[in-house]
Amino acid sequence: MTLLKFLKPKNELEPGGRQSVPITPDENEPSKQCPNCRRLVPESSLWANFNCCPHCGWHFRLSARQRIGFVADPNSFSELFADYRSDDPLGFPGYKKKLELSRRVSGEVEAVVCGAARIKEQPCALFVMEPSFMMGSMGTAVGEKITRLIEYAIEKRLPVVGYTVSGGARMQEGLLSLMQMAKTSAAIRKLGEEKLVYITVLTDPTTGGVTASFAMQGDIIIAEPRATIGFAGPRVIEQTTKRKLPAGFQSAEFLLERGFVDLIVPREKQRQVIGTLLKIHGGAHTDG
């Protein structure tokens, strides 16, 4: 016997009452300091609050797997291109060691995790960058994985959802990593020509070559609250332009005001919002 399938009633949530109750942390529980409000936040509170500060709403960084857990439907993610990894094509001093260390620290072999998933029952191709792997820097493997995922999406007629967090192109791979900007951009153009939607979610920080390529090429660009999003760092810009930058420069809110970002969605709502967007845009054309 298989599980029965029921339709879901479209009932609005009943109004009134509390929406949640506070956490009561253990004594001596390990805690993290919020980089924004400087308060100590017990781990259990972070855990229960999508890794956001319960006091000021600051979004702590998440690993790629944690994000997948938050955004994808349970057990719906199946990883693709898991064994793609960067080598050391230029013989850059210390790079091999750095790669090895990053792999140990992050538990990932590269700075992006790709796969097929469902978000609120909408099938899609999903890539999520990993901040603890060399700050999500884009090398040849990252570019290749994302390009292949987009090609996979075209083949399977799936929309693409991408979470970016990156310091930019990986300097240890020189021009080869800069070339990934063009390669991914070409793939995204093809995705657009195929009339498949591409949604990006920019998280703190999304900078450099990633901003200049696939992060900002989303048909719909979502950002996490207060995420830093930019190309060059503020100090470099000030030194080059010899002008003082306005307050909040390169924050998600600043970019939303100026039309670079379409939506700011807090982490807890992302799954719902992305699911709805995918549904509105026709979702997948096949079962994927």
Partner 1 sequence: MYSKILIANRGEIAVRIIRACKEMGIESVAVYSQADAEALHVALADESYCIGRAEASDSYLNAERIISAALVSGAQAIHPGYGFLSENKDFAALCRKYGIAFIGPPIETMEKLCDKAAVKRAMADAGLTVIPGTGQLESVEAAKREAEKIGYPVMIKSCLGGGGRGIRLVRTEAELEQAFAAAKAEGTAAFGSCSVYMEKYIHPARHIEVQVLADEYGNVACLGERDCSIQQRKQKLVEESPSPAVTDGQRAELFSRVREAIKKVGYHGAGTLEFLYDGKEFYFMEMNIRLQVEHTVTESLTGIDIVKWQIRIAAGVPLSFAQDDVDLRGSSIECRILARQPGKVEFLHVPGGPFVRFDTYLTVGTKITPYYDPLVGKLIVYASSREEALRKIRAALCELVIDGLPNNIEEQLEIVSSEEFSSGKYDLDFFTGGERT
Residues 253-282 that bind partner 1 (CB under 8 A): 268
Q: Give me the amino acid identity at 127.
A: F
Size of the site for partner 1 (CB under 8 A): 33
With contacts defined by CB under 8 A, name the span among 20-28, 126-134, 159-167, 245-253 that binds partner 1. 20-28
The pairing of strands 160-166 and 198-206 is parallel
Q: Which residues pair with 116 in a beta bridge?
A: 78, 125
Helices 174-193 & 140-156, crossing angle to 10 degrees?
10
Question: Based on CB atoms, which residue is closest to partner 1, 66 or 185?
Answer: 66
Q: Which CB sits closer to partner 1, 194 or 268?
A: 268
Per CB under 8 A, does 36 bind partner 1? no
Stretch that binds partner 1, among 42-50, 101-109, 226-234, 236-244 (CB under 8 A): 42-50
Per residue in 213-232, is it b (16+ CB within 10 Å) or e — as a string? bbbbbbbbbbbbbbbbbbbe
For residue 45, the minimal CB distance to partner 1 (Å) is: 7
Site residues for partner 1, 60-79, by CB under 8 A, read 69, 74
Q: Report the nearest approach of partner 1 to the CB of residue 15 (Å).
A: 7
Beta carbon nearer to partner 1, 8 or 235: 8
- The reply to whether 28 sits near partner 1 by the rule CB under 8 A is no
| CA atoms of 212 and 50, how far apart (whole Å) | 28
CA distances from 103 to 130, 135, 226 (A): 11, 12, 28
Pick 48 or 179: Cβ nearer partner 1: 48
Nearer to partner 1 by Cβ, of 27 and 83: the residue is 27
Least separation, in Å, of the C-beta of 22 and partner 1?
Answer: 6
Contact 86, 122 (CB under 8 A): no
Three-state DSSP state, 113: strand
Euclidean distance between the first and the last CA atom of the chain, given in angstroms as a whole number: 25
Sign of the CA dihedral with 232 first, then 236, 242, and 244 last:
positive
Q: Is 21 near partner 1 (CB under 8 A)?
A: yes
Binding mask 226-245 for partner 1 (x = CB under 8 A): --------------------
Residues in the site for partner 1, rule: CB under 8 A? 1-6, 8-9, 11-26, 44-45, 47-50, 69, 74, 268
